[in-house]
Each structure stands twice: as C-alpha cells, then as structure tokens.
C-alpha cells in the first residue's frame, strides 16, 4: 500500500517535473511546479515528516510559486508566444544529465546503507522546534538574517529608482 | 704744471672722442679740434720742459689701478729729462704732421677719421712717454701699435695697405711677447713694475743679474719689434703703404723711436748685464748695416727712407747697447726732426708727382723749390755734415762706441754713415736734379700748398739747429740734461769728427758721380755686382724667408690642428656617439627580436590559445553550468567508477 | 638686506615665462616686450645686487636659507659672494640684451621667449645656489631650454648640434652628480650644503679628494669647455640662433669655471694643488690650440666659437696658478669673455641677418660700406686680442702675472701660453682683414648699417669692455676678498 | 514497503530534471523553477536519510527547514533580478545576458 502510494507520488513528481522544464508556456510550467511541489509534500508525509509537509505547502506552494507567477505576470512575456524556449544546448545537456542520472542510480544501488531500526518521534513539530531553539540556534539566527538580507536586497534590486 | 702732465696726453684723447662722436662729418671741425689739441699739448710740454730744466726730477705721480694680494699694479707718471725731451719731440713732430695733413689729406672721404686716428696716436705716444711703470708703458705700447695698424691700413681698400697693417701689427706683437715675458719676469723677481722701484732694487743689487739679463733681453725684444730691428724689421718698409704723414709721424719720428725710448728706460739693466748690452749693441749694429745696404738699391722713395729709418734706429740701439744713453737719445731727437722732414718732403713730392718711384722722377727741384731745399737740408743732416744736427748726434754715437772699446762696431758704424750719405744723395739727385724721366708726371708736378710747406720749413730749421744743444763744447747742453746716473761729457774727439765728415762727403761724392754727373753708370755697376745687387734689391730675402718658414708653418700647423680637431677629437666624440647609437641599435634589435620576441611570443601563444578558448567563454551562464555538470559527471566517472 | 633679492632674481623670469605662456601666441610684439620687461627687471635687480654688495669681505651675502627636504639634509640655500655677484650681473645683462636681440625671431615666438626665460631661471639659480641639490637642479634646468633653443631655432645642422650639446653636458653633469653623492655619503652627518662641505674639507681623505675632484672637474670642464672636451662648442655655437650663442658663450661657459672656483677648489684643496699643473697645462693647450684652430676657420661664427676655447684657456691657466692674481685673472676673463664674445656673436648675427652667409671668404672690403659696424667689430676684436684699455687685456695680464708668480706650475707653461697672444692677434686681424678690408666686394652693395635695436644691444657691452679695461678697480674690489679666501683655503 | 533506495532514486530523477531545466531553459523564471526542483530533490534526500538512518534526532528535517528558507530567499532575490533585467533590457532570456564575455 505504502509502496503503491509512493509510486503514484513519484509518477506525479517526475511527470510534473518534466513538464515544468519542457512546457513552452512558462505560466503552465508554474502550474506544473505547484503540482510537483504538492507531490513532494506527499512524499514528506510518506516519510513521517508532517511539519515539513506543512511548511512545503505553505511556503512553497503558497509563497514561492505565487511569487513566481507574479514575476511572470510582471514581465508578461512569452505567455503563449511561439518562441524558442530552449537554448542551443538541450541535447548535450540531456545526454549529460542522462549519464549523470545513470551514474547516480548506479551508485545508489551499489551503496549499502546502514538503515537504522528506530522510530522517529511523532509529531515532529515539538522536537524540531526545540532543536531549533537549542542545538541549532545559531544557524537559525543566521538564516533569519539571510532572509532579512534577501528581503531587503530584493526590494533594493527591484526597486524603481 | 708738471703734476698735471697727464693733461698733455689726454688732450688728444679728448680730441679723438670729440671727432668720433661729434665731428665725424665735418672736415674743418675735425682738423681744427685735432690741431688745437696737439698744439695745446705742445705748449704744455714746453712748460713741463722748463720745469724739468729747473728740477731734473724724476717727478713721479702714482695712481692706484689694480690692487689685490699678490698683485699691485699702479699707474704712474714719470717725468725725467728724457721724458720731457720726448714730449717736446712728439708734440712738435705731431703738430707739424697734423698741419701738413690738412693739405695732404685734402679731399679724402675719410678725412675726419684720419684726424681722429692721428689724435689717438698722439695720445698713445704721449702716454707712452710719460708712463712711469713698465706696465703703463706696455699699455700705451700696444695702443700705439693699434693706431699704427689703423693708420697703415687707412686706405684699406688697397689690399697691400691692409696686408701691411696686419703684418705690422703681428710682427710687432711678436716682439711684444718678449716685452710681456720680460714684464712677468721682472714682476716675479721685483714685485713691482715701477721704473723708480726697479732702478732702486737694481742699484742695491737685489735682483740677480741672470734675471736682469733675461728680463733685459726680453724687454728689448719689444723694442726690436717696435723699432723694426733685425729680425723683426720686415714690417716697417711695408708700412709705407700708409698715408705719408703717418709714415712721417709714426714710422719715422715717434712710434718706431719708442723702442729706442724703451731701451733707454732699461738702461739700468743693460748697464748691469754685460750679455744683454752686447746682444743689444750687435743687433743694433747689424740692423744698421743691413738696412743701409738694402737702402742703397731701392727705388721707392718711401722705402728708401724706411730702410734709412731702420738703419738709423739701429744706430741708436747700437749706441744704447754701448752705454751711450745720452748719444742714443740725442740721435733719437735729431733723427725725429730730420727724418720727419724727409718723409714730409717725400710726401710732398709724391703729392705732386703721383708716384713713389724715383726712377720716374727727376728735375723736380725747379717745380718744387721749397720741398727740394728742405729735403736737401735734411739729407745733409742725416748724412752728418757739419754743423747740421745729424753731425753732432752721429759724432756722439761714434764716441760712445769708441769709449766702450768696440772697434769693430765703430768701423761698422762709420761704414754705415758712408752708406747713409750715399743712398740719401742718390735719392736727392734722382728726385730733384737731372732731366725729368717721366715728362707727363713732371708736367703735372707743382709746389705743395702752404699747409704742407710751412711744416717743412719749420722742421728744416730744427734739422739744422736741434743738434746744437748737444755740441760737445757746450757744458750745460744736452749731455748735462739727459743722462744716465750722472752727466757724462766725453772729450770731443776731432779725429772721429774728421773721419765721419770724410766718409759722409765721400758717400755724397760717389752719389754725385753716379747720379748727377753720371760719370759712373749705376746700371753697369748693378750688372757688374749682379749677385749682391739682387740680394740687396730683394731685401736679403727676409720676407721670402719668413713667408717660407714661419708663416707657412703657422698655416700648415693650423690646418693640421683643425684636421686633428675634426678628425681625431671630434671624431672620437662622434665615435662615442655613434658607438652609443650602434649599441642602441644592436640592443634595440636584440630587444625587438629576442626579449620582446619572447614576450610577444608568449602573447602570441596565449592569444592563439585564447582565440580558441574565448569561444568557450560565451558569457552565457548556462554554458558554464553545462561544463560544471560535465565536470561532475566526468569526476564521478573517473573517481568512483 | 631683508629683501630676498636672489629669490626674486630666480623666480621673476619664471613668472615671466608663465605670463608669456598665457599670452596669445599671435601677439608677437606683446610677447617680445613682456619677456624683455621681465628680463629687464632681473637686470635691474642685478644692478641693485652689485650696488649693495660689500666687496670687503669674503662672507656670503644676501643669504636665504630654509628647510626643504629636512630628512635628506636638503635646504633652499641661496647666497652670493664676490665670485657670483659679477656672474649674476653678467647674466642679468646678457639675458636682457639677448632677449632684445631676439626680437627678430618670427618662428614660434611664444615658445622661444618662454624657453629663454626658463633658461634665465636656470642660469641665475646656478650662480646663487649654495645647496648641491638646488645647484644640480638649476644646472639641469638650464640644459632643457638650451636643447630646444638650439634644436628648434638653430641652423641647418641644429639637431645634431643640440643632441651633441645635450648629451655631452649631461655626461658631465652625471659625473658631477656622482661626485655630489659621494660627498653626501662621505660626510657625517650627511649634508648637501656647499659652505658646510667646504668647512669640512679637512675631513676628506687624499685619495677621495683626488677622485672626486676629477669627477667634478670633468663635469665642469665639459662646460668650460676645456680641451679636449670642447668639440660640442663649435657645433652648438654655429647652429644656435644668435642670442642663444650669446648666452652660451657669455654665461653657460662661465658656469664651468664658476663651479671650479666655487666648489672644486675650496672643497678639495689638496687635490687642487695636486692637479695644478694638469689644469694649467690644459689651459695652455687650449690657448694655443684654440688659437690655431680659429685661424683655420672659414666660417665667421665658428671662428668666434673656437676663439672661446682659446679664451677660456686663460681661465684655466689662471685657476691652475692657485694665486689670487691668477684667480682674479680668471674671474676677469670670465667677465670680459662674456662681454666680448657675447658682443662678437651679436655682431656676427647682425651681419648674418643681412648677408645670409658667414663665409669669411664671401666678404671683403665691406668696411667701406658699413663703417659703424666695422668700427664696433674692430673694437670688440681688439678687446678679444687683448688690447690694453679693453677688458681682455686686464684679464690676460692678470692671468699671466698670477701664473708666472705661481709656485705650483712651471714657468714654461706660462711662456708657451704667452704665444697665444700673438696667435690671437693673428686670427682676429686675419679675419678683420678678409671681411672688412681690402677691395670692396660689389656683391654687398646693398648692405645696410646697424639699426637702432642692434646698436642698443652692443653699446652697453662696448661700454663695459672699455670701462673694465680702463678702470678695473670696481670689479677688483668686488672679487678680491672672496678669491683671496678661496686661494687661502687651497694653499693653506 | 518503499526503501531508502526508492526515495534516493526519485530524488536523483527529480534532481536531474531540475538540472536539465537549468541547463536548457531560456526563460529566467523557468530556470528559477528548475532550481526549486533541485532544492526539492535535495530535501527529499535529507528527509529520507533522516527517516532511514537517524530517525530519532531529525537532523535531516531541520536541514530541510533551512533549505526551504534559503530557497525562499533565493527565489526572492532571483525574481527581483529578473524583474530588474526585464526592466532594463526588456528581456528575460538568460542566453542574451552574456555581458560576462570579455
């Protein structure tokens, strides 16, 4: 049952991901991205990462993707226009990526992972929250600063002056 | 008055300045100013003479000129009887010549300039006479040389005249080298150049005799140049290219006598140094003989007189070399008058006949009574005929030689006296008597104007009487006025007087036979003694000798040095330059092809690579990312697989 | 005197140069008069300097001193004594007259006068700098405008002459620089002040003195120029425009002898004694050699140029003598040569402007056509050959007396040198005769007499020639104390 | 039962899709999307490892949180740049932006 769900989710993710990079209409790509991100959120749930799944949906689907759609709207270009949406290197890139993928799969299958036989705490929110405030407080603060800088930077860059 | 005697010299200088700055266009004003100045000088000189007669002096007045540690060069005025006499001689002759020049130079386009030069000369000569130091003497010595140069070359359009001026200047300058060297020796030894101080030191034997001999001979070299003594006599005959009044004033009466004057001034040295005295005496004697011998055969009226001058100057030098201070200076004075007269007379003749060649003259006595008479008087005087002035001074010279005991020189002097009488009367007879040999010139001849004849008459009187001040029986005459140390009155030697007169009369008689009576044919004589005649006629080939040796050497040497300068020194400099340039070129080549080649090579290789590689750098980020992932793939492939 | 007169003398021409550069380059007359004005001010200042100078003492006067680069011991140090005051006066006068004489320049007028004023800065500076650094700077500052003045406004071979002059002089100054640096490091504490270095001359070792003296000597000798370093001179003189020749002969050559008197001798007394004979010998050779070579010249200007070699030989002879009289003779000769040769070059320039040739043989008899010019030329010619009553005689006589009485050099050197007098007479008279006397060459029928401006430039020089020749006492009084001081330092 | 390998392979596929997009898309926004895909694949990896290797301490999940935060920041800045590019050059195609060429 779980495996079946995994395959379904995996299929959704892979297909929508491929569509993201292949669709001509960038707006459609964005829609496919949303679908893909939902699939990933499903994978998180499958992996018992309930907090992350929530964050994924809230932040990615609700935040980043919307932001991208806004950007597409602002630049209002290319939607539905018959122009080349690939550069001159999709074929070599495809080949490279294919070989990379093969190499990765080969190395994954060859590697023997030491899988632990333990159960993770459920729900994870409290544990993550505590960890962020104790062991990972410094990275946490750094990330907050990074976000702030990115925010201000984005405003400064995009600002019309 | 005597303390202001510099005024005598400065009046002509003032006149020079006035003429140059204000009257350079006006003939009347120029000659007027010049003559006024020189006559005033003459009057003042007379006053000075009387003051010196009252007090022999010497009267010395010193003026500071240069004064620094190790170098004291004052200027001073030194008036003793000799200077006083010379002042008289110079101002008298100069006055006569000035007046004479009005007539002689009449119509010359540079008339004012001529008078300005005459004034300048008079200034220099008077300055020379009153100088109280060898240094000041040297200054005026050079200045008279300059004016002589200017006046000889007065008609500088004539190349001969310009050449003669240059020759005179340079030849006398060679003598002046000796003068200068003598000054230096004297200064180094004595620390002063004042006559009085040096005389004093010599008297007290504070200067070594050897130095005195050297200094004496070197100073005498100056006199050799200026007084045209052998071997520097060659300039004086050439100097006759100048206007005749100039010849009379400068090259007969005054400037050339400056050498004699200087020799008299170094009498104290000569007396001390036997060798110097002998040298001087023999040079004088030889010059007298040589010049007289040349004078025998010359045809140019002025050149005959020029050689006569050289010869007479030799006489004076001879006398001084024999210690005859009084005799030498006495002859200097008398000679000045009669030789000036001769020259002015010759000038008058030339003015009338428009030629210098006595062979073209003849019979001019009828046309020019005053000139011919005065000329005869002067000739008698120079020949030494009693009782004219030449007789007395020549007699003094014989006496002084005899007293010194140089019998050889005495005989020489007497022979020269005979030669003098001969050539002077040869001149007189050829010029004034006989048939005119050039009718055309004879027809044009006429007596000169009064401005020219009056000076002749005045000088003729002096030529007769000037010698009377030195008559040996006169005890308060010249000898007790102009003397060295103490008056010297030699006993009159009647024997010598007789010999002198006989020789003179003999010379005149010979000339009379040859050129008046024509009983001896001069041409035949010349042909008979052809060798000697040619030798004398060509002036002993001195000019040719100098031309062939000294001058040629100088010209050769200057070319050699110039070639050396260009070919060696400058060549070396240029060689260094060229070597530098060559080096530069070489290293430039090296630089371009090797060093820069390497650099450029590196550049070329790089560019060549880059030309290929730059294509990789597209600027498109995705291409770069592509490479990154290619790298990742390859990395994994080779590292792990 | 509190008024910093030397600084003003140096920098007024500089100000003049700036003003000239700001003027419209087409306004030729304005440029000419402006530069003449500035150089005239300097001339007036030099007169004031002479008037206020106290010749009774060897002390440096009008001293100005200020720190400049204290860490290297470099100061802005100016002063004048009896050696420099006559030279400053000469510089002031000749610069002014040369600028007036350059009024006929029509090519690139603005640059010409700007360079000329810069040249004056360098010249005045050299004569009053008392710090080696400053001295060297002015020494080199002079070189550059000179190079351009010859190289741009010169004759047919101007580039060659300019480069030869520049490189030759530079070679000399590099040697001098080596000497300066050696001195700087030899003394402790390091200093570049010339009077200071002179005061310490007892500290220098014998060998050190000999070597450094030689270095300085070559540097100065090239400038003088002493035989055999003289060949730049005829080329430079002949190719340079008239006024530049005047400055070159009148002032620049004097810097060599000035340097020897101011620096070499007092600083290296023992070396000075050691080198007395070689210096005098070089002087002798220059006198004779220069005279002979002059005689061989066919170009009027070249003749005058070579006569400079001969005349500067007298200076060297006087210096070699190491007596006050010899030094004074040298000083007189410097002054007199500056005046005489300066005037000679002006006169040659006047003739060249009219005839467009300087070939001696091309003239002949022009004395009849232009008597005034001839008279003035003969006056200076006579001065040059040492006629009494003109300045050349006084200097030659003093040199001879000083050298003859010297215990440091042999008598025969002086005796041979005296021959130079008659050789000088030879070439001057030969030239005068071939140019002015003799039959008139009808080619010069249209030759005109000197104009007012030309007379204006030579008359002052004529006056000075005669004045110094007749009454040398003022100049003697001015220089004696200082020269005596130098001689006493050298001979102990 | 889905094993760790399943998740890893899924993540690898997703990552490769993202890389492909990154390398070949012209549109800048598309490239940003591809980058998001790659982030997600990395997150899948983290979470999977966390689940299978060290389930008790949740380090992988915490890293994922950080990655998401960084991804948000990246998206913000990246989009701002895109907007700016568009405004200044009127293009959003990244292959035209080749000013980095020498």
φ, ψ (nearest 5 deg) of residue C298? -105, -10
Distance separating alpha carbons of residues C45 and C275, to the nearest angstrom = 38
- Spell out which residues of chain D touch residue A128, defining contact as CB-CB under 8 Å: 58, 61-62, 65
CATH class of the domain at D4-96: mainly alpha
Do the Cβ atoms of B158 and B167 come closer than 8 Å?
no
Are 3 or more Cβ–Cβ pairs between A and D shorter than 8 Å? yes
- Percentage of chain C beyond pLDDT 90 is 31
Residues C352, B97: contact at Cβ < 8 Å? no
By mean pLDDT, which of B441-450, C48-57, D18-27 is the weakest?
A: B441-450
Q: Which of D34, D55, D81 sits opposite A116 (nearest CB)?
A: D55
| Chains contacting D (3+ CB pairs below 8 angstroms) | A, B
When comparing pLDDT for B198 and D96, which is higher?
B198
A touches which chains (3+ CB pairs under 8 A)? B, D
> What whole-number distance in Å separates Cα of residue B408 and Cα of residue B81?
32
C404/B185 touch (CB, cutoff 8 Å), yes or no: yes
Q: B301-321 vs B407-432: helix axis angle to the nearest 10?
A: 160
D43 contacts on A by Cβ (under 8 Å) = 40, 52, 56
Number of residues in chain C = 492
Angle, helix C452-470 to helix C84-101, in steps of 10 degrees: 160
**Per-residue 3-state assignment (H helix, E strand, C coil) for C210-247:** HHHHHHHHHHHHHHCCCCCCCCHHHHHHHHCCHHHHHH
What residue of B is the nearest CA neighbor of C387? B142
pLDDT surpassing 80 at residue A122: no
Q: B614-618, C9-13, C165-169 — which one is most confidently predicted on average?
A: C9-13
Q: Tell me the CATH class for A1-102.
A: mainly alpha
Distance between CA D15 and CA A17 in Å, rounded? Answer: 9
Domain ranges of chain D: 4-96
Q: How far is CA B550 from CA B97, B149, B286, B526, C169, in A?
A: 36, 21, 22, 31, 38
CA distance linking residue B529 with residue B521, whole number of Å: 13
pLDDT over 80 at B483, yes or no: no
Put simply, whether the predicted model's pTM sits higher than 0.90 gets the answer no
- Domain definitions of chain A by residue range: 1-102, 120-161
Interchain CB distance below 8 Å, C422 and B173: yes
- pLDDT of residue B513 exceeding 70, the answer is yes
Q: Do the Cβ atoms of C354 and C439 come closer than 8 Å?
A: no
Answer whether B630 touches A (CB < 8 Å).
yes
Q: Which pLDDT tens digit goes with each residue over A38-47?
A: 999 999 988 8
- Are the C-beta atoms of residues B451 and B97 closer than 8 Å to each other? no
The per-residue pLDDT for range C476-485, each reduced to its tens digit, is: 888 988 888 8
Relative to beta strand B71-79, strand B59-68 is antiparallel
Instruction: Using DSSP, state whether B63 is helix, strand or coil.
Output: strand
pLDDT band at D99 (very low <50, low <70, confident <90, very high): low
B338 to chain C nearest CA, in Å? 32
ipTM score for this prediction: 0.65
**pLDDT for residue C42 is more than 90:** yes
Which pLDDT score, from 0 to 100, does residue D98 have? 67
Res B176 pLDDT > 70: yes
B611 touches chain D (CB under 8 A): no
Asked if residues D70 and A148 have their Cβ atoms less than 8 Å apart, the reply is no
Report residue B64: phi and psi, to 5°: -70, 140
Nearest C-alpha in D relative to B615: D101
Alpha-carbon distance B629 to nearest alpha carbon in chain A (angstroms):
7
What confidence score (pLDDT) does residue B531 get? 79
Q: Tell me how close the Cα of A126 comes to any Cα of chain D, in angstroms.
A: 11
C365: closest CA among C442, C311, C261?
C442
| Residues constituting chain B | 641
Asked if A137 has any chain D CB less than 8 Å from its own CB, the reply is no
Above 80 in pLDDT, residue B485? no
CA-nearest residue to B637 within chain A is A103
Name all chains with 3 or more CB-CB pairs below 8 Å to chain C.
B
User: Is the CB of B626 inside 8 Å of chain A's CB atoms?
Assistant: yes
Residue C17: pLDDT band (50, 70, 90) is: very high
Contacts with C484 from chain B: Cβ below 8 Å = 68-69
Q: What is the pLDDT of residue D3?
A: 85
Asked if D50 has any chain A CB less than 8 Å from its own CB, the reply is: yes
Say if residue B387 is preceded by a cis peptide, omega within 30 of 0: yes
| Residue C232 at interface with chain B, using a CB cutoff of 8 Å | yes
| SS3 of chain A: helix, strand, coil, percent, to 5 | 75, 0, 25
Contact list in D for residue A82 (CB cut-off 8 A) is none
User: Looking at the complex, does the CB of residue D21 fall below 8 Å from at least one CB of chain A?
Assistant: yes
For chain C, percent of residues with pLDDT exceeding 70? 100
Task: Choose the closest CB to A93 out of B626, B636, B640.
Answer: B626
What Rg do the C-alpha atoms of chain C give, in angstroms?
21
By the CB < 8 Å criterion, does C474 face chain B? no
Q: At residue C44, does pLDDT exceed 90?
A: yes
Q: Is D100 a residue whose pLDDT tops 70?
A: no
Q: What per-residue confidence (pLDDT) applies to A76?
A: 64
Cβ separation B633–A107 shorter than 8 A? no
Q: Is chain D adjacent to chain C, meaning 3+ CB pairs within 8 angstroms?
A: no
Place of tokens 């110039």: B562
Contact call for D12 and A6, based on CB within 8 A? no
With contact defined as beta carbons under 8 Å apart, do B331 and B253 qualify?
Answer: no
Which chain C positions have a beta carbon within 8 Å of B163's beta carbon? 433
Distance from the Cα of A125 to chain D's closest Cα (Å) equals 10
* Whether residue D101 has pLDDT greater than 70: no
pLDDT digits (tens, 9 = 90+) for C407-440: 888 889 998 998 888 889 888 988 888 888 888 8
Q: Is C372 on the interface with B (CB under 8 A)?
A: no
pLDDT computed for residue C94 by the predictor = 92
Q: What is the pLDDT of residue B391?
A: 86
Chain B contact for D98 (CB, 8 A cutoff): yes
Distance from CA of A96 to the nearest CA of B (A): 6
Using the Cβ of D45 and the Cβ atoms of chain A, whether some distance falls under 8 Å is answered with no
Q: And the tokens for C19?
A: 């003003």
> Does B70 have pLDDT greater than 80?
no
The beta-carbon neighbor of B177 closest among C295, C367, C422 is: C422
Q: What is the pLDDT of residue C15?
A: 92
DSSP tag of C188:
S
The answer to whether the peptide bond before residue B488 is cis (omega within 30 degrees of 0) is no
Is chain B adjacent to chain D, meaning 3+ CB pairs within 8 angstroms? yes
CA distance C292 to C310: 9
Q: How far is D72 from chain A (nearest CA, A)?
A: 6
Please indicate whether, in this complex, the C-beta atoms of A107 and B640 are within 8 angstroms of each other. Answer: yes
Q: Which residues in D lie closer than 8 A to residue B617 (C-beta atoms)?
A: 100-102
Alpha helices in B354-438 (DSSP H): 364-367, 369-383, 389-404, 407-432
pLDDT single digits (tens) B377-406:
888 888 888 888 888 888 888 888 888 878
What is the average pLDDT across C275-282?
91
Contact of C110 with C117, CB cutoff 8 Å: no
**Does residue C235 register a pLDDT over 70?**
yes
Contacts of D95 in chain B (CB under 8 A): 620, 622
């Amino acid at each position: 049952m779980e495996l079946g769900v995994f395959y379904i989710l995996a299929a959704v993710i892979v297909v929508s991901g491929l569509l993201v990079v292949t669709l001509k209409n960038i707006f459609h790509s964005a829609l496919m991205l949303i679908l893909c991100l939902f699939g990933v959120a499903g994978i998180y749930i499958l992996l018992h990462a309930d907090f992350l799944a929530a964050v994924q949906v809230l932040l990615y689907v609700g935040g980043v993707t919307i932001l991208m759609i806004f950007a597409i709207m602002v630049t209002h270009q290319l939607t539905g226009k018959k122009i080349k949406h690939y550069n001159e290197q999709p074929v070599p890139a495809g080949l490279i990526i294919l070989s990379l993928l093969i190499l990765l799969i080969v190395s994954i299958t060859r590697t023997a992972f030491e899988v632990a036989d333990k159960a993770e705490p459920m729900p994870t929110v409290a544990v993550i929250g505590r960890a962020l405030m104790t062991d990972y407080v410094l990275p946490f603060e750094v990330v907050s600063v990074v976000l702030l800088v990115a925010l201000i930077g984005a405003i400064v860059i995009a600002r019309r002056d | 008055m005597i303390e202001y005697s510099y005024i005598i010299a400065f009046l002509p200088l003032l006149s020079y300045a006035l003429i140059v700055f204000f009257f350079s266009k006006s003939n009347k004003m120029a000659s007027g100013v010049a003559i006024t100045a020189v006559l005033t000088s003459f009057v003042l000189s007379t006053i000075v003479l009387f003051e010196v007669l009252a007090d022999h002096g010497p009267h010395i007045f010193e003026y500071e000129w240069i004064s620094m540690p190790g170098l004291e060069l004052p200027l001073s005025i030194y008036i003793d009887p000799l200077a006083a006499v010379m002042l008289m001689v110079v101002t008298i002759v100069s006055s006569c010549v000035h007046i004479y020049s009005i007539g002689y130079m009449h119509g010359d386009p540079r008339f004012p300039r001529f008078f300005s030069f005459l004034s300048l000369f008079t200034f220099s000569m008077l300055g020379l006479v009153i100088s109280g130091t060898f240094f000041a003497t040297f200054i005026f010595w050079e200045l008279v040389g300059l004016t002589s140069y200017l006046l000889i070359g007065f008609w500088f359009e004539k190349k001969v005249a310009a050449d003669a001026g240059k020759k005179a200047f340079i030849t006398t300058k060679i003598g002046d080298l000796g003068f200068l060297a003598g000054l230096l020796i004297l200064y180094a030894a004595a620390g002063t150049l004042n006559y009085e101080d040096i005389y004093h030191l010599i008297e007290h034997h504070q200067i070594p005799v050897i130095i005195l001999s050297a200094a004496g001979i070197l100073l005498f070299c100056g006199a050799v140049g200026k007084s045209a003594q052998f071997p520097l006599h060659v300039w004086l005959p050439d100097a006759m290219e100048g206007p005749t009044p100039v010849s009379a004033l400068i090259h007969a009466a005054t400037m050339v006598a400056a050498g004699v004057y200087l020799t008299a001034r170094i009498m104290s040295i000569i007396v001390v140094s036997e060798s110097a005295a002998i040298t001087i005496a023999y040079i004088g004697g030889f010059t007298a003989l040589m010049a007289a011998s040349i004078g025998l055969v010359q045809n140019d009226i002025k050149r005959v007189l020029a050689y006569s001058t050289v010869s007479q100057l030799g006489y004076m030098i001879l006398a001084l070399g024999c210690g005859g201070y009084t005799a030498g200076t006495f002859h200097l004075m008398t000679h000045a008058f009669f030789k000036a007269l001769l020259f002015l007379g010759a000038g008058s003749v030339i003015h009338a006949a428009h030629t210098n060649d006595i062979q073209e003259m003849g019979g001019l006595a009828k046309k020019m009574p005053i000139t011919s008479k005065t000329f005869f008087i002067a000739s008698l005087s120079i020949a030494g005929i009693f009782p004219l002035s030449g007789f007395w001074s020549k007699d003094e010279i014989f006496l002084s030689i005899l007293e010194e005991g140089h019998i050889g020189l005495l005989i020489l002097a007497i022979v020269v006296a005979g030669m003098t009488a001969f050539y002077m009367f040869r001149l007189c007879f050829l010029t004034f008597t006989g048939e005119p040999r050039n009718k055309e010139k004879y027809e044009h001849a006429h007596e000169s104007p009064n401005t020219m004849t009056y000076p002749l008459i005045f000088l003729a009187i002096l030529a007769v009487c000037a010698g009377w001040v030195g008559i040996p029986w006169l005890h308060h005459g010249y000898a007790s006025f102009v003397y060295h140390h103490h008056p010297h009155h030699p006993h009159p030697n009647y024997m010598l007087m007789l010999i002198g007169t006989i020789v003179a009369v003999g010379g005149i008689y010979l000339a009379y036979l040859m050129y008046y009576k024509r009983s001896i044919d001069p041409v035949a004589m010349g042909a008979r003694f052809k060798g000697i005649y040619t030798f004398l006629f060509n002036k002993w080939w001195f000019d040719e000798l100098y031309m062939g040796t000294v001058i040629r050497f100088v010209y050769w040497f200057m070319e050699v040095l110039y070639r050396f300068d260009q070919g060696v020194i400058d060549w070396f400099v240029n060689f260094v330059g060229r070597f530098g340039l060559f080096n530069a070129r070489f290293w430039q080549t090296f630089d371009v092809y090797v060093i820069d080649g390497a650099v450029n090579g590196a550049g070329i290789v790089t560019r060549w690579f880059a030309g290929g590689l730059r294509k990789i750098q597209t600027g498109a980020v995705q291409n770069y990312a592509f490479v990154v992932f290619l790298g990742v793939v390859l990395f994994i492939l080779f590292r792990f697989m | 005197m509190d008024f910093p007169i030397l600084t003003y003398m140096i920098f007024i021409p500089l100000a003049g140069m700036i003003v000239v550069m700001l003027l419209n380059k087409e306004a030729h007359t304005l440029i000419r008069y402006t530069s003449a004005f500035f150089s005239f001010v300097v001339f007036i200042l030099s007169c004031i300097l002479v008037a206020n100078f106290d010749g009774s003492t060897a002390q440096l006067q009008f001293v100005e001193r200020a720190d400049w680069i204290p860490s290297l011991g470099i100061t802005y140090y100016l002063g004048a004594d009896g050696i420099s005051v006559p030279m400053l006066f000469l510089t002031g006068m000749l610069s002014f007259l040369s600028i007036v004489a350059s009024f006929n320049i029509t090519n690139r007028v603005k640059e010409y006068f700007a360079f000329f004023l810069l040249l004056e800065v360098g010249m005045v500076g050299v004569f009053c700098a008392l710090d080696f650094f400053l001295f060297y700077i002015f020494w080199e500052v002079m070189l550059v405008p000179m190079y351009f003045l010859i190289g741009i406004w010169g004759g047919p071979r101007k580039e060659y002459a300019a480069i030869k002059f520049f490189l030759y002089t530079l070679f000399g100054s590099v040697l001098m620089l080596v000497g300066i640096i050696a001195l700087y490091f030899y003394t402790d504490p390091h200093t570049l002040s010339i009077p200071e270095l002179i005061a310490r001359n007892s500290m220098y070792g014998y060998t050190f003195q000999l070597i450094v003296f030689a270095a300085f000597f070559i540097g100065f000798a090239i400038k003088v120029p002493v035989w055999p370093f003289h060949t730049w001179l005829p080329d430079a003189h002949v190719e340079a425009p008239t006024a530049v020749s005047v400055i070159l002969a009148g002032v620049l050559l004097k810097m060599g002898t000035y340097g020897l008197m101011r620096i070499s001798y007092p600083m290296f007394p023992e070396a000075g004694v050691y080198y007395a004979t070689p210096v005098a010998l070089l002087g002798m050779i220059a006198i004779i050699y220069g005279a002979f070579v002059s005689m061989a010249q066919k170009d009027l200007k070249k003749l005058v140029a070579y006569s400079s070699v001969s005349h500067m030989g007298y200076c060297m002879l006087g210096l070699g003598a190491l007596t006050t009289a010899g030094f004074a003779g040298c000083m007189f000769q410097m002054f007199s040569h500056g005046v005489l040769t300066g005037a000679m070059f002006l006169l040659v320039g006047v003739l060249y402007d009219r005839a467009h040739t300087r070939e001696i043989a091309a003239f002949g008899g022009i004395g009849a056509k232009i008597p005034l010019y001839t008279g003035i030329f003969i006056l200076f010619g006579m001065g040059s050959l040492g006629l009494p009553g003109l300045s050349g005689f006084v200097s030659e006589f003093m040199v001879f007396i000083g050298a003859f009485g010297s215990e440091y050099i042999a008598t025969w050197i002086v005796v041979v040198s005296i021959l130079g007098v008659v050789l000088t007479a030879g070439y001057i008279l030969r030239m005068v005769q071939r140019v002015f006397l003799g039959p008139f060459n009808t080619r010069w029928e249209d030759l005109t007499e000197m104009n007012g401006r030309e007379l204006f430039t030579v008359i002052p020089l004529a006056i000075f020639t005669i004045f110094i020749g007749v009454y040398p006492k003022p100049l003697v009084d001015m220089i004696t104390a200082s020269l005596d001081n130098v001689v006493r330092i050298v001979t102990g | 039962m889905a094993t760790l390998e399943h998740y890893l392979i899924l993540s690898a596929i997703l990552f490769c899709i993202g890389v492909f997009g990154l390398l070949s898309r012209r549109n800048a926004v598309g490239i940003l999307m591809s980058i998001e895909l790659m982030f997600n694949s990395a997150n899948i990896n983290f979470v999977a490892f966390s689940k299978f290797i060290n389930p008790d301490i949740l380090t992988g999940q915490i890293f994922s949180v950080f990655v998401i935060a960084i991804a948000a920041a990246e998206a913000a800045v990246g989009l701002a740049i895109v907007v700016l590019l568009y405004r200044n050059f009127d293009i959003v195609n990244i292959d035209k932006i080749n000013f980095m060429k020498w």
